[in-house]
Amino acid sequence: MAHGFAVFAGTTPEIIRASAREAERLGFASFWVNHPGSTDGLAALAHAARETRRVELGIGVIPLHTRGPESIVEGVKANALALDRLLLGVGSPNPEALKRVRAGVAELRAKLSTRLVVAALGPAAVDRLQAEAARYAAVPAYAANFARMGLKPVETAIAAQTPDAVQRGLAQWQGVVDDIIIRAITAKDTVEEHLALVRAAAPA
């Protein structure tokens, strides 16, 4: 099972750079940021790209109804993201989600020779975790997805009070999924907290 590590794109460049360096050093397969609201995830991912050489770089996901394929292509090129390491995640809420994603993926494939991913999600500080879970639950497309799984958003999280707790949480997915992305949610959003979580979740 390949491990990825993800941070909020709107966090500080210092946190992104430090987390990406540590994730690569510890053998994570991928490092991810999201693309929330007006925050440019591609620009955030560029901070990680400049600090690493091997780890795959993912963005999950860019909503195609707010940022179309042409703008995504421009963003990838403007931020000089290496196509051979890029995992470009896109998605779209209803209505017309499937149609929009199919068309968007086709256009992106024609213009960028990189891997495309459709979807994403997340872990740990209780108050922030509850707020994040509520935010996902309020988006109809996510709410419908969790309903289909029979889970609440918070139930997909792994509590990370200790390294052993993180590893036990990850172990429950062994053999169930091919890849797991650990999305960092920390109490105070510091470099030290992010590095502690990267280390706790490091591949064995």
What CATH number is given to the structural domain containing 75?
Answer: 3.20.20
Taking phi first (over 0 means left), then psi (-120 to 50 degrees means alpha), and beta for anything else, what does residue 72 get? Answer: alpha
Domain span including residue 99: 2-200
Q: Which two tokens stand for residue 67?
A: 């940022």
Looking at residue 177, its pLDDT comes to 66
Looking at residue 159, its pLDDT comes to 58
Sheet holding 86-91, edge to edge: 115-118, 86-91, 56-63, 30-33, 2-7, 179-183
49: number of Cβ within 10 Å:
20
Q: Counting beta carbons within 10 angstroms of the beta carbon of residue 20, is it exposed (0 to 12), middle (13 to 18) or buried (19 or more)?
A: buried
Question: Which residues, given as ranges, of the chain have pLDDT below 70?
Answer: 119-123, 125-126, 157-161, 176-177
167: number of Cβ within 10 Å:
15
How many domains are contained in the chain? 1
pLDDT over 90 percentage in the chain:
54
What is the reported pTM?
0.76
